[in-house]
Every structure is written in C-alpha cells, then in structure tokens.
Structure 1
Amino acid sequence: MKDINKFIEEVFNKRYTCKGYDSEKQVSDEDFRTIIEAGRLSPSSFGFEPWKFILLKNRDVLEEIKPYAWGAHASIEGASHFVLILARTPKHMKPGSEYLRHIKSDIQKWPDDLLKQRSKKYGEFSDDDFDLNSDRAVFDWTTKQVYIPLANMLTTAAMLGVDSTPMEGFHQEKVNEVLVKNGVYDKEDFRLAVMVAFGYSNREHREKTRREVDEVFEVFE
C-alpha cells in the first residue's frame, strides 16, 4: 500500500500545466482512449453526466478560434490532442426535461416507484437546496460537474506520462460562436465549458509550487 501511496503522490508532484508541445510526438490511441474513459466514468451530481467531449482535429476551426483563445495558442500549435469539454444547456438540466428522463430511465434504469422519488428529490434540490432558478445558475452548476471529468482526465494523463493543459483562457461567446457556426455542436444542447490539450512537452518545467498542507487542511473536532 505504501508503494501505491508514493506513486500517487509522485504523479501529482510531477503533473503540471504544459506550456509548449513537441508537435512531432503523438499520444497513442490506447493512451488517449484511457484518458477519455477516465472522463466518461467520472461521477456527477445525481449521476446526470451533463457533459460531452469533442476531439477537435479540424485545422481550419482550430485556427479560427485562435484569435479568441489566448490561453490555447501553444496547445493549438503543438499538442497531440485538443479536446473541447462541453456542458449541457440549462433546458436539459431542469426537472422534467427529456434528457433527465433518458438518464434516469434508460441509463440508470430506475423502476417507476424509485424514479418518482428521484425526480421529486432533484426538484427539491434544484428549487431549494441550490436555488437553480435561473439559466445562469443552472449553467454554473453544470459547469462545476464538468470539472470532475476534467480533473480525472488530467490525473490519468499524468499516470500515463502524458502532459496536459487545461484552458479557460478564451472568450466564451466568441469561441462558442465559431464552434457553433462550423457545426461542431448545437448551441441549443451544449456550450463550451473548458478546453484541454494532451501531448508531450518541448521544454523543462520549473519546480512545482504549492502551499504547505497546514495551510489547506484542518481538522475540526
């Protein structure tokens, strides 16, 4: 067990946000599939899986978003894989939506009696507990769910020796506009939440810096 603990700590100590990629090196199909599986199998609130992952390979579209994605230039130019992580739009996440019916009935396969209980509980959660009573509030909550698979994908990549770059450095409206215009996704169903690149670094990275554990962890008894 100690060896596993040491391995996990080493992975997190070595993982960093890659600032430049070697365009000659490609992530293997097997490794990339494992990274995507880490995202697909991630947990989400109520198990609603409000995400979609798109591997964006089209060079014309990549070049078109570049002026509006200042944090993605190095990744667009050299990364092996450039992934869009989308969040479902609020209409899909509201109680009673067809998407949630599909998840609960077809994917989770809840029997009718428990399905009603689950639906009632989510309605109470949405209206009272988290006050998801505006489209903005729903999208913000959904985006928080999307960051769970993002984190798992980053960690899995690090375990495989693959470098990565999560990216929020883009103009949301303009990048969404370009992607929708090019038919990458339907704006009625999805909105871009975050981007992430995978590949192999072309430079040395400085030593990792983090606050000490006593600054971020406390026991209250």
Structure 2
Amino acid sequence: MKNDEILRALNYRYACKSFDSNKKINDEDLKLILESGRLSPSSIGIEPWEFLVISNDELKNELANFAPGGKKQIPTCSHLVILLNRNANDLKADSEYLNELFNEDKHLPKEVSELLLKMIKDVNDNRFKNDEKEINHYSREQTYIALGTMLTTSSLLKVDSCVIGGYNAEAVTKLLSDRNILDTNHFNISCMLALGYRNENPAPKTRRTFEEVVKFIK
C-alpha cells in the first residue's frame, strides 16, 4: 500500500453520527477489524481486553437508552463493539488469567514467564501501590491501543466508525450482566465503538497543521 493511499484512508475517517441501517459489514471485513484489535500491543503483553460484538437490534436499542452520546449511532450501526478491560483481580501476578496467558497461550519459557510476572508484581506494588482503581485505569488505558488500531483498520476498509464514551456505565454494566453477557468478576466496560456505513455527508476533515503538532529534535 502506498503512502498516499494510507493518507486518503486516514482522511476518510470521521466520527460518523448517522449510519445506513440497511448496510451491513461483511464477515470478512468485520473479522479483520477485530483481528487488528486482538493483535494490538499491550503493556508487558498482558492483553487485558475482550470485545463484545453486538448486532442484535433489540439489544442495541436498549443500550442506546443508556448512552446519550450514542443515541443515533448505536441503533443504526451495523455492529456495536464494546471494549472490555480486565479488572485488578485478573492483573495480579498470581492470577489464574496471567499465568494461563503466559504459560499456555503464549507458551513462554518458564524463566521468561517468571520474569514478566515479577515485573507485573513490581508495577502493582511500587507504581500503583496495589490500588485497584489505579490498576483498573492502567488496564483500561491498554484498550485504547486496540481501539486506535481498529479505527485505522476500519478506515482502510472504508468502514465508518464512531467511538462512544458518553454512556451510563453502571446501567450498561447491569444490562449486560443481567443477560449473562458481561462477567463483572473479571471485566469492566472501557468504551464502545459503532461500526457501519455513513448515511450523511461529513464536512472535510480539519486538523492542526503538521508543523504545529510535530517537533523534530536533532
């Protein structure tokens, strides 16, 4: 892919406020977007995310009731991705999740796994003082890396998107946990991503200039 093709795709992306509800993302493109999130980097390789992919119209409409920032986008989008981040219990060095991740999923040598778990313990003890709120915040930060990757992949595929952060977290959590979709023992809701195809003509993208944003230090 050439440089100008990438720039065109990045300029194509905008925060879509109205989707064509009759136009759905095909399975191949949807999987590629989600794979790009799955393959994203994370601090110490902890991969503290899962993605709920919702296409059920009834559930989308219910969720929209608790999301003032997504009242138009959620009901009309093709798919709503809810990014989850693992909570502090799963990010302790002795947690079942981290030990399975390093030893069974990643198949790391024992000495490497032990080193990474020691690093995580040091971070939790010294940086976060084992404060669960701080650890949860750290976990949530990682999901935004995956979110950014999915946004870029979507734009390359000419799939429109809108990040939704304006929602009642308590109400959405209750709705999803009551339906046995969200396990609150392990996950918190990080943010939402509406995906689909635009049903509007956006204004041209405007940004600060390259020179204003980028400073080269030689």
The verdict on a shared fold, with TM-score over 0.5 as the criterion, is yes
Per-residue deviation, 1:209: 1.4
Cα distance in 2 between the residues matched to 1:26 and 1:112: 45
Question: What SS does structure 2 have at the residue aligned with 1:53?
Answer: strand
Matches within 5 A, 1:20-31: 20-31=18-29
Match 1:182 to one of 169, 179, 182? 179
Q: For residue 58 of structure 1, what is the amino acid of its counterpart?
A: N
Question: What SS does structure 2 have at the residue aligned with 1:9?
Answer: helix
Per-residue deviation, 1:211: 1.1
How many residue pairs align between the two structures? Answer: 218
Q: Give the corresponding residue for 2:194.
A: 197
**Any gaps of 5 or more consecutive residues in structure 1?**
none
Match 2:122 to one of 124, 133, 140? 124
Q: Give the corresponding residue for 2:134.
A: 137
CA contact 2:14–2:161 (8 Å) conserved in 1: yes
1:113 aligns with 2:103: no
What's the TM-score, normalizing by structure 2?
0.94
The structure-2 alpha-carbon separation of the partners of 1:163 and 1:206, relative to structure 1 and needing over 3 Å to count, comes to same
CA contact 1:75–1:82 (8 Å) conserved in 2: no
Cα distance in 2 between the residues matched to 1:42 and 1:22: 29
Cα distance in 2 between the residues matched to 1:65 and 1:136: 25
Q: For residue 97 of structure 2, what is the amino acid of its counterpart?
A: Y
Cα distance in 2 between the residues matched to 1:215 and 1:132: 38
Cα distance in 1 between the residues matched to 2:165 and 2:177: 18
Cα distance in 2 between the residues matched to 1:6 and 1:127: 46
CA contact 2:53–2:82 (8 Å) conserved in 1: yes
Q: Give the corresponding residue for 1:12.
A: 10
Q: Give the corresponding residue for 1:165.
A: 162
What's the TM-score, normalizing by structure 1?
0.93
Q: For residue 42 of structure 2, what is the amino acid of its counterpart?
A: S
Cα distance in 1 between the residues matched to 2:42 and 2:193: 19
Cα distance in 2 between the residues matched to 1:132 and 1:141: 13
Residues 144-171 of structure 1 show CA distances to partners (whole Å, capped at 9, x for unaligned) of 1001111111111111111011110101
Q: Give the corresponding residue for 2:65.
A: 67
Cα distance in 1 between the residues matched to 2:63 and 2:157: 29
Cα distance in 1 between the residues matched to 2:66 and 2:121: 37
Per-residue deviation, 1:132: 5.4
CA contact 2:63–2:74 (8 Å) conserved in 1: no
Q: For residue 118 of structure 1, what is the amino acid of its counterpart?
A: L
Q: Once structures 1 and 2 are overlaid, which stretch shifts more, 109-118 or 30-39?
A: 109-118
Q: Give the corresponding residue for 2:207.
A: 210
RMSD, aligned CA: 1.5
The structure-2 alpha-carbon separation of the partners of 1:15 and 1:131, relative to structure 1 and needing over 3 Å to count, comes to same
Cα distance in 1 between the residues matched to 2:110 and 2:63: 45
